[in-house]
Amino acid sequence: MCASKMVQPNKVAAFFMLCFLSQSVSAYIDPGTGSLIFQLLLGSFVGLLFAVKMYWNRLKSFLKSKLMKGHGDETAKK
């Protein structure tokens, strides 16, 4: 069986749709069915990347503040 038959985009989309099922989308402009489905799929991917980026930035600033504090304490001791 070839790879393209194993991973069917429809089934992937349906899987994500089921995962996030809960609320209908209504708007005065037409969001577009294709756009909404695509956004739901893309959202889970970029959401993950954003979470990694956010926590990485938090970790960086935490470490930076710790280092600065340590450096500040040493300077104060001197």
Partner 1 sequence: MKQPRSDVAIPGSFRDPSGFIFRRDGVVYRQVNKAYQEHYDRLMACGLYKELVGEELIVSHTEVDVEPPDPRTAYKVIEPERVRFVSYPYEWCFSELKDAALALLKIQKKAVEYGMTLKDASAYNIQFHRGHHVLIDTLSFEVYGGGPWVAYRQFCQHFLSPLALMSFRDARLNQLSRVYLDGIPLDLASALLPYRSRLSLPILAHIHLHSKSQRKYAGSRARVEGKMSRMSLLGLLDNLESSVKNLSWKFRGVGWVGYYEETNYTEEAWGEKKRVVAEFIDDIRPSTVWDLGSNVGVFSRIASEKGAFTVSFDMDPGCVEQNYVECKKRGDANLLPLVLDLTNPSPGIGWCNRERMTVTQRGPADAVLALALIHHLAISNNLPFGKIADFLSETGEWLIVEYVPKSDSQVQRLLATREDVFSEYTKEDFEREFGKRFSIVKALELKQSGRIMYLMRNRGVI
For binding to partner 1 (CB under 8 A), which residues are involved? 16-17, 20-40, 42-51, 53
Q: Of 20, 44, 40, nearest to 32 (Cα)? A: 40
From the CB of 75, what's the least distance to partner 1, in Å?
36
Among residues 24 and 75, whose Cβ is nearest to partner 1? 24
Give the contacts of 13 (CB within 8 A, at least 6 positions apart).
37, 41
Among residues 35 and 65, whose Cβ is nearest to partner 1? 35
Give the contacts of 41 (CB within 8 A, at least 6 positions apart).
12, 13, 16
From the CB of 43, what's the least distance to partner 1, in Å?
4
From the CB of 39, what's the least distance to partner 1, in Å?
5
